[in-house]
Amino acid sequence: MSKSEARQSLKDKRRIVIKIGSALLAESGNVLSQRIADYCRQIAQLMGEGYEFLIVTSGAVAAGMGRLGLDARPTKVNELQAIAAIGQMKLMQVYEEEISRLDLISSMVLLTHDDFSDRRRYLNARSTLTRLMKLGAVPLINENDTVATDEIKFGDNDTLCALVTNLVDADLQIILTDVDGLMDKDPNIFEDAERVVEASADDQSLELLSSDRTSSLGRGGMLSKVKAARLASRSGADTAIASGRVKNILIRLLKREDLGTYLFSESKSLKSRKRWIADQLKPTGKIVIDSGAAMAISGGGVSLLAVGVVKVSGEFDRGDLVECCDEEGTSIAQGLVNYSSSDIEQLKGFNSENYSSRVKHVYEDELVHCDNLVIV
């Protein structure tokens, strides 16, 4: 897609996931009811025009801090989880009041990484969200902070937004933040910094333009938004990053006004199963492969064989998700493995005709079949 065509395609985007950042919903931890009311008003108007919306909302911790009168965000996990539990009630109360006032129905969905890593739970979540939209409800989605640990956290709600976008086959994700979009250089240093109007979501150079700066109320900076755009592009979804402080921002974006940064997908949309594999953020182990295997796999459509394996890291079982890296440590692909780590230790470097003499059970010739392998 050319840049000139990118925003014009907005007229065809009907299923949309909106992420609303903590900085937009809180000032010193106080939820801004008026801002939520304004977003809900725009969503109600657009739903009347045939759009479907899901909202990934930050702000639970910020709202909890406001309720407790805290100025600084705590750092201990158990304190953050308790504060999130308090704030989640307040946050959802505000959304419910405003959505009900518009004669719409809201629903609350709290997710963890396990809901995406387990295939059955993934499909159940997809089915539930799809049904909610068919019922005309607006799903309000957040990470279940009260049970999530560092090992299973998404990291930030930008990532969660992209995963939900892929989960429900959305056409577009809109990430609302407190800045006007991605800038071509750091505006805090360079007075001549300009907004990036449009770019490919798969453009690796965008990460160099992104700052790791985060606010005291939230976890995600611009870098996480650029990575979220690339993640969503795997399902063919585009991304708009824009300021949620702009009046009628949702309506104006969908009318194709030149606001924010528009990152369009140039990736071929992955099939549902491969998309699920690609969305997994926590591989259980790593397989290091030689240059020949790395080159073959990078071309696509090729399975991983034991003869190309150099090293195995971590402990994993048959069916687990593993990362495939070259000998320099660069990630090449990830996929579902047919053998345990202990079996692969015995099989590495050997051809398939030698398998039966080295392991007790021979399942497949491939360690990872190409149907279960996704290039990253």
Give 18-82 as a DSSP string: EEE-HHHHEETTEE-HHHHHHHHHHHHHHHTTT-EEEEEE--HHHHHHHHHT-SS---SHHHHHH
Cβ(202)–Cβ(236) below 8 Å: no
Which helix (DSSP H) or strand (DSSP E) does residue 295 occupy? helix 291-298
Nearest to 51 by CA among 175, 138, 125, 158: 138
3-state helix/strand/coil string of 127-166: HHHHHHHHCCEEEEEEECCCCCCCCCCCCCHHHHHHHHHH
Query: Is residue 278 within 8 Å of 234, Cβ to Cβ?
Result: yes
Please tell me the predicted confidence (pLDDT) of residue 349: 95
Q: Do the strands 198-200 and 261-264 form a parallel or antiparallel pair, or are they unpaired?
A: parallel
Task: Give burial (CB, 10 Å; 0-12/13-18/19+) of 217.
Answer: buried
Q: Strand, coil or helix: what is 274?
A: helix
Task: Render pLDDT for 148-165 as a digit per residue (tens, 0 to 9).
Answer: 655 445 668 899 999 999
Rounded-to-5 percentages of helix, strand, coil across the chain: 40, 20, 40
Give me the domains of the chain, ranges plus CATH numbers. Answer: 3-270 (3.40.1160.10), 283-375 (2.30.130.10)
The C-alpha atoms of residue 79 and residue 211 are separated, in whole angstroms, by 28
Q: Tokens for 273?
A: 């199963």
Long-range (24+ apart) CB contacts under 8 A made by 267-270 are: 267/201, 267/202, 267/233, 267/234, 267/236, 268/236, 269/234, 269/235, 269/236, 270/234, 270/235, 270/374
Q: What is the pLDDT of residue 220?
A: 47
pLDDT at residue number 153 = 57
Residue closest to 59 by CA, chosen among 223, 197, 244:
244
Q: Count CB atoms within 10 A of the CB of residue 333.
A: 24
- What pairs with residue 109 in β-bridges? 141
Q: What is the pLDDT of residue 216?
A: 45
AA identity, residue 45 = Q
47 within 8 A of 104, measured Cβ to Cβ: yes
Structure confidence at residue 209 (pLDDT): 73
Both tokens of residue 371? 């149907």
Cβ atoms 171, 15 nearer than 8 A: yes
Of the candidates 130, 63, 117, 70, which has an alpha carbon nearest to the alpha carbon of residue 91? Answer: 63
The type of residue at 304 is L
User: What residues of the chain score a pLDDT lower than 70?
Assistant: 1-6, 8, 26-31, 148-155, 210-220, 281
Q: How far apart are the first and last CA of the chain?
A: 21
- What pTM, to 2 d.p., does this model score? 0.80
Residue type, 70: L
Please report the pLDDT score of residue 103 as a whole number: 96
Of 39, 76, 31, nearest to 58 by C-alpha is 31
pLDDT at 212: 53
Angle at alpha carbon of residue 86, lines to 82 and 90, rounded to 5°: 160
